Amino acid sequence: LKEGTEKVMPSQCPYCSVQCTMDLIEDTVFTNKRFKAKPDKGNPTSGGRMCIKGANAHQHVYNDERITHPLLKIDGEFVPVPWELACEYIAKQFQSIQHFYGKDSIGVYGGGSLTNEVTYLLGKFARVALKTKHIDYNGRFCMSAAAAASNAAFGIDRGLSNSLQEIPDADCIILAGTNIADCQPTIVPYFRQAKKNGAFIIVSDPRETATTKLADLHLKPKPGTDAMLAHGLLKILIDEGFTDSEFIASRTNGYTQLAEDLTSISLQRVSDVTEVSIEDLKTAARKYGDAPNGFVLTARGVEQHANGSYAVGQFINLVLATGKIGRYGNGFGSITGQGNGQGGREHGQKADQLPGYRSIEEYKDRKIISDLWGIDECDLPGKGVSAYEMIEKMAQGEIKGLFVMGSNPAVSNPNGVYTEHALRQLDYLVVADMFLSETARMADLVLPVSSYLENEGTMTNMEGRVTLRKAAKPVPKTIKHDWEILCDLAKYLGAGNAFSFSSAQAIFEELRVASKGAKADYYGISYDRLSHETVCWPCPDEQHPGTQRLFDSEFAHADGRAVFSPLELEKALSEAMTNEEYPLLLTTGRLMSHYLTGVQTRRSPDLLKRDKEPLLHIHPDTAACYRIEDNELVELKSSKGTVIIRASFTTAIRKDTLFAPFHWGDSQSVNRVTQPRLDPVCKMPEFKRTAVAVVPLVEK
Ligand code: SF4
């Protein structure tokens, strides 16, 4: 650019599930910054807002550490190699492993930040080019509990049942286990407006956060007791006559038994388990029950538990019992975490799903997809295992080769020490990433990928709103797009015919057909439409306006009715996890300035400056018991491993609970201490509750 000239690049933030759009402006006259990001006022979700992450996202794209050539590890050192050689090498290695150990000895591990097109293609790549059943993704740690509960209750899984624009008209909102002010900051104004309009906001979180400042009532349940909390609220709604009998009778199944079973629980017991007072439980239930319009929204605080899907189901019960869904200003939602957490779980990179949320076990769905892919239905692999179970299969030697795209499993999986050991056991590890992430460093071969500024494709936000992110600038000559890499590799694996795509748009056209008539129906959505509007699925034809609010007339089960989650009290009772050796509970989460395992945000100087290392939040009274001083390095220990982390005093946390963010790797990775306890239904690990001990690093 000549001095004084300006280049405007319309783009979309690569991070959270709001998917804010912006103009990135490159200008040589800015004195201390080459780039400025200007939020897009026309975006229907973010409405001209953007947070610090979006404003600085471009910094990682221009970071000097970015990989620019395929890197082959020779004698422990990475050496740049041509693309042809890299692809040939990968194909030969994977084919050789499969020759000796079978097709399923190769795994594919994807991510919830990939575009819909890449998500779709990655599923096809695993099942058609590699012919393996082992594919799953990091969204298993993000949305799987809410997805399982929504499918069970509503027959379909979409983050929010309504558009966010309805939030300001709600009279009561329950935010359970979600810290939107730090994690999805640009949606907070919807809630502020609701409050201005008179809404009563209830936040349930063991910590005081920027979100709890919005609350009229802050419930601080003991970590892991959310299901019991929801039982208590439902009991009060029933006992005090806040239920909507007409809605229950005409639109739901399973209520009578649930109501009867709930009589066995006393409010005193709920209060004892959750450590929330009966008075607060009653206030919360009465405010929600009495409100003409209301929303219940959950997130990882409720979901990342070994009973996560059960707990979400109990929060959905509140919505169904009061008839607060299927009409304006009322609904349920799970606030998605990753940028394409929604689309990422719809198009086939989940072990048990085919594109459009089709089932990999149903003959009809398998036949539709195998016909589209030009293979025999019998040759379409079956159901694989979840993300963490794939790690277990690597450790056990069943999976011997792994292809990772858009993820950093070494840091994001629970039981980090074991996970690292499992990845090191592999005969061949290939990672496609922009940087040498903690996982990529372990790889035998690393492939460089394009950034969000270069990569065209669609994303689906938490509302089920599909948006088109156009490329803001060309991809550097020595780097390829994710979809190009998959097409090239497929060719070397002998499956080139099924991967003869020349653009992301061409892949989307196939995705549309694959989803036609399925639950997540994108058939009516096209790049042409998306170039001037956003569309919420389901959208069955090009004349259809899209669906901003679900369930107005029916739910997605065959009989059109929603299903209450039954009471299974043993799932709601908090196991006494702590003991003499590990007396405290650790909960993990996000910071506003970082995203996922921090591979990109730790390489954005303005974001790293804000939070340069993980801090362990600890109550000063708790710290005093262990002779820990503020700002001191400590050892955080569980039965699985140890993390060295700096203590940070705060009274905004329960005395029995510690908090640490998960955005750092190596010895600072908090997942070195988390447990691989999985929800039996959805396989979500229990990130939000680990029994730990904390001691000063220096003996006193
Ligand atoms: Fe918007 Fe989320 Fe990006 Fe922030 S991180 S700019 S809220 S999309």
CATH classification at residue 485: 3.40.50.740
Residues 444 and 592 in one domain: no
56 in contact with ligand 1, CB cutoff 6 A: no
Q: Cα(420) to centroid of ligand 1, in Å?
A: 30
Q: Does 515 reside within a domain? A: no
Predicted local confidence at residue 13, as pLDDT? 95
Compute the average pLDDT of residues 458-481.
96
Residues 284 and 156 in one domain: yes
Q: Which amino acid is at 380?
A: L
Helix (H) or strand (E) holding 515: helix 504-515
Compute the average pLDDT of residues 645-671.
96
Q: Does 569 reside within a domain? A: no
Q: Which residues contact 502 (CB under 8 A, 6 or more apart)?
A: none
Q: Cα(337) to centroid of ligand 1, in Å?
A: 11
What residues are paired with 353 via a beta bridge?
359
Decide: residue 459, CB within 10 A, 0-12 exposed, 13-18 middle, 19+ buried.
Answer: buried
Q: Does 510 reside within a domain? A: no
Q: Cα(21) to centroid of ligand 1, in Å?
A: 9
Residues 595 and 640 in one domain: yes
Which atom number of ligand 1 is nearest to the Cα of residue 55? 6
Helical segments of 197-265, H only: 226-239, 245-251, 255-262
Q: Cα(232) to centroid of ligand 1, in Å?
A: 35
- Which residue's CA lies nearest to atom 1 of ligand 1? 20
51 in contact with ligand 1, CB cutoff 6 A: yes
Distance CA 56, CA 42 (A): 20
Four-CA torsion 134, 137, 142, 146, nearest 10 degrees: -50
Distance CA 309, CA 450 (A): 35
Answer yes or no: is pLDDT of 280 > 60.
yes
pLDDT digits (tens, 9 = 90+) for 228-269: 999 999 999 999 999 999 999 999 999 999 999 999 999 999
pLDDT digits (tens, 9 = 90+) for 402-435: 999 999 999 999 999 999 999 999 999 999 999 9
pLDDT digits (tens, 9 = 90+) for 139-162: 999 889 999 999 999 999 999 999
Q: Cα(586) to centroid of ligand 1, in Å?
A: 27
Predicted local confidence at residue 35, as pLDDT? 84
Quote the radius of gyration of the chain (alpha carbons, Å). Answer: 24
184 in contact with ligand 1, CB cutoff 6 A: yes
Residues 186 and 295 in one domain: yes
Given phi > 0 = left and psi -120 to 50 = alpha, else beta, which region is 463?
alpha
Predicted local confidence at residue 34, as pLDDT? 77
Residues 351 and 317 in one domain: no
From 452, 476, 501, the end of a domain falls on 501
Structural tokens at position 474:
């060309």
Residues 151 and 299 in one domain: yes
Q: Does 513 reside within a domain? A: no
Predicted local confidence at residue 26, as pLDDT? 84
Decide: residue 513, CB within 10 A, 0-12 exposed, 13-18 middle, 19+ buried.
Answer: middle
Q: Cα(75) to centroid of ligand 1, in Å?
A: 41
Compute the average pLDDT of residues 273-286.
97
Q: Which residues contact 490 (CB under 8 A, 6 or more apart)?
A: 125, 128, 129, 496, 498, 499
Predicted local confidence at residue 6, as pLDDT? 74
Residues 41 and 53 in one domain: yes
Q: Which structural domain, as residue segments, surrounds residue 46?
A: 6-61
- Which residue's CA lies nearest to atom 3 of ligand 1? 54
pLDDT digits (tens, 9 = 90+) for 475-496: 999 999 999 999 999 999 999 9
DSSP secondary-structure letter at 593?
A: T
CATH classification at residue 641: 2.40.40.20
Q: The tokens 């929330």 sit on which residue?
A: 276
pLDDT digits (tens, 9 = 90+) for 204-218: 999 999 999 999 999
If one residue of 16, 52, 610 were mutated to test the ligand 1 pocket, choosing by the most ligand atoms within 8 A of its CB, it would be 16
Predicted local confidence at residue 574, as pLDDT? 64
186 in contact with ligand 1, CB cutoff 6 A: yes
Which atom number of ligand 1 is nearest to the Cα of residue 54? 6
Residues 348 and 223 in one domain: no
Residues 288 and 262 in one domain: yes
pLDDT digits (tens, 9 = 90+) for 664-696: 999 999 999 999 999 999 999 999 999 999 999
Predicted local confidence at residue 524, as pLDDT? 98
265 in contact with ligand 1, CB cutoff 6 A: no
Compute the average pLDDT of residues 281-309.
97
14 in contact with ligand 1, CB cutoff 6 A: no
pLDDT digits (tens, 9 = 90+) for 495-537: 999 999 999 999 999 999 999 999 999 999 999 999 999 999 9
Answer yes or no: is pLDDT of 2 > 60.
no
Answer yes or no: is pLDDT of 200 > 80.
yes
Residues 92 and 171 in one domain: no
From 480, 501, 522, the end of a domain falls on 501
342 in contact with ligand 1, CB cutoff 6 A: no
18 in contact with ligand 1, CB cutoff 6 A: yes
pLDDT digits (tens, 9 = 90+) for 81-94: 999 999 999 999 99
Q: Does 541 reside within a domain? A: no
pLDDT digits (tens, 9 = 90+) for 44-71: 999 999 999 999 999 999 999 999 999 9
Residues 393 and 310 in one domain: no
- Which residue's CA lies nearest to atom 6 of ligand 1? 54
Distance CA 205, CA 564 (A): 24
Predicted local confidence at residue 278, as pLDDT? 98
If one residue of 11, 12, 13, 22 were mutated to test the ligand 1 pocket, choosing by the most ligand atoms within 8 A of its CB, it would be 13
pLDDT digits (tens, 9 = 90+) for 562-619: 999 999 999 998 666 899 999 999 999 999 999 999 999 999 999 999 999 999 999 9
CATH classification at residue 178: 3.40.228.10
Predicted local confidence at residue 378, as pLDDT? 97
Q: Cα(322) to centroid of ligand 1, in Å?
A: 33
If one residue of 51, 342, 606 were mutated to test the ligand 1 pocket, choosing by the most ligand atoms within 8 A of its CB, it would be 51
Distance CA 641, CA 410 (A): 14
Which atom number of ligand 1 is nearest to the Cα of residue 50? 6
54 in contact with ligand 1, CB cutoff 6 A: yes
26 closest CA partner among 50, 47, 3:
3
Is there a contact between 46 and 39 (Cβ–Cβ < 8 Å)?
A: yes
Which atom number of ligand 1 is nearest to the Cα of residue 185? 7
* φ, ψ of residue 306 in degrees (nearest 5): -70, -10
- Long-range CB pairs of 504-511, under 8 A, 24+ apart, other chains included: 504/115, 504/117, 504/455, 504/456, 504/457, 505/456, 507/117, 507/120, 507/121, 507/483, 508/116, 508/117, 508/457, 508/458, 510/120, 510/372, 511/116, 511/117, 511/120, 511/347, 511/355
Answer yes or no: is pLDDT of 457 > 80.
yes
Q: Does 194 reside within a domain? A: yes
Answer yes or no: is pLDDT of 31 > 60.
no
Q: Cα(45) to centroid of ligand 1, in Å?
A: 11
CATH classification at residue 46: 2.20.25.90
What is the count of structural domains for the chain? 4
Compute the average pLDDT of residues 340-356.
94
Cα dihedral sign, 490-507-139-613: positive
Predicted local confidence at residue 89, as pLDDT? 97
- Of all residues in the chain, the percent with pLDDT exceeding 90 is 94
Residues 373 and 421 in one domain: yes
495 in contact with ligand 1, CB cutoff 6 A: no
Answer yes or no: is pLDDT of 29 > 90.
no
Q: Does 38 reside within a domain? A: yes
Q: Cα(341) to centroid of ligand 1, in Å?
A: 13
Compute the average pLDDT of residues 322-334.
97
Compute the average pLDDT of residues 442-464.
97
Q: Does 286 reside within a domain? A: yes
Predicted local confidence at residue 3, as pLDDT? 56
Before 680, cis peptide (omega within 30)? no
Q: Cα(118) to centroid of ligand 1, in Å?
A: 21
- Which residue's CA lies nearest to atom 2 of ligand 1? 16
From 307, 335, 363, the end of a domain falls on 335
94 in contact with ligand 1, CB cutoff 6 A: no
Q: Cα(596) to centroid of ligand 1, in Å?
A: 13
ipTM over 0.90: yes
